[in-house]
Amino acid sequence: MTTTMRHRLTGWWNRRYPDWVPEIALRYLPVVEWILAEPSRGLILEVGVNRSGLTTYLRRPVVGVDCVMGAARADLVTPVLAKGQALPFQSGSFDYTVCMDTLEHIESADRNCFLRELIRVTRRRVFLGCPMGSQSERADQALQQYYQSQRGETFPFLDEHIANGLPRLETVLAEMEGIAKASGRLIRLYCEPNLNVWVHRMLLRLWMRTGRVNYLFHRLAIVLVHMRRWLNVGPCYRQIVVAEFDV
């Protein structure tokens, strides 16, 4: 392959998958599909926006909440520094609230309050995704050991997963139903498994390894997004809960 052809291919790849990370894209794209299927556009809130949030995969403005804000921020994000347990918005301010891989970083005693706030500020739908259950906990523990063997230290995000314990799907569903009932709102709950545990582990191990070849394979793994429905079979690392309310 000539240098010119390589530059053209690299340019096309970066335009097609700008700043996409395989594991993160696989968690967000189902939510993107749900939002795009809606006939009307509405205000979107993302709680736990971090650096690679919804706007990487859905080019629409969002209000992004996090308890820590870095200097770098996506151009479509209006940043708000706050905790999810005390969102500084009026009730029903947003049509959609998205919260991906954040609940597991909240201490278990605060999770009900966190869920209550997500529901309070949302008019139409809450999209809540996070790793759940004992099998995902075992996957986190194995990945933490692998990261430490590769890097000589633990991975802070996995430290919080392990310290807080992962949520249980049945507990999350029961709490969301109870919160809605207490506030007099009708709620419909849907759940979709997301990302086979083995695939999740493979992608994270590729990311954790050093070296140019591993980096290249991790970048190429983005093509998995085109077969993502086939990756949601068997034991899955994450569950995506959709809470729908009558408007």
Q: Tell me the CA distances in angstroms from 239 to 93, 112, 207, one per residue in order.
A: 25, 17, 22
What pLDDT, on the 0 to 100 scale, is given for residue 21? 92
Average pLDDT on 24-38 reads 94
What pLDDT, on the 0 to 100 scale, is given for residue 52? 66
What pLDDT, on the 0 to 100 scale, is given for residue 67? 85
The tens digit of pLDDT for each residue in 72-108 reads: 677 899 999 999 999 999 999 999 999 999 999 999 9
Residue in 75, 35, 41, 36 with CA at minimum distance from that of residue 55:
75
Topology given in CATH for the domain delimited by 38-245: Rossmann fold (3.40.50)
Residue in 155, 145, 126, 138 with CA at minimum distance from that of residue 47:
126
Q: What are phi and psi of 160, to 5 degrees?
A: -70, -40
* Residue 2, token pair as written in the block: 């000539």
* Residue 41, token pair as written in the block: 């556009």
The tens digit of pLDDT for each residue in 144-181 reads: 999 999 999 999 889 999 999 999 999 999 999 999 99
Counting residues of the chain whose pLDDT is more than 70, the rounded percentage is 94
Return the C-alpha torsion angle 208, 213, 219, 222, nearest 10: -90
Residue 26 has pLDDT above 80, yes or no: yes
Buried b (16+ CB within 10 A) or exposed e, 185-219: eebebeeebbbbbebbbbbbbbbbbeeeeeeeebb
Pairing of strands 187-196, 236-245: antiparallel
The tens digit of pLDDT for each residue in 102-139 reads: 999 999 999 999 999 999 999 999 999 999 999 999 99
The ranges assigned to domains in the chain are: 38-245
Place of tokens 């993302």: 46
What pLDDT, on the 0 to 100 scale, is given for residue 71? 65
Return the C-alpha torsion angle 116, 117, 119, 123, nearest 10: 150
What pLDDT, on the 0 to 100 scale, is given for residue 38? 83
* Residue 19, token pair as written in the block: 């700043």
What pLDDT, on the 0 to 100 scale, is given for residue 13? 67
What pLDDT, on the 0 to 100 scale, is given for residue 170? 97
Instruction: Name the β-bridge partners of 126.
Output: 97, 243
Mean pLDDT (the chain, rounded): 92
Counting residues of the chain whose pLDDT is more than 90, the rounded percentage is 77
Cβ(35)–Cβ(58) below 8 Å: yes
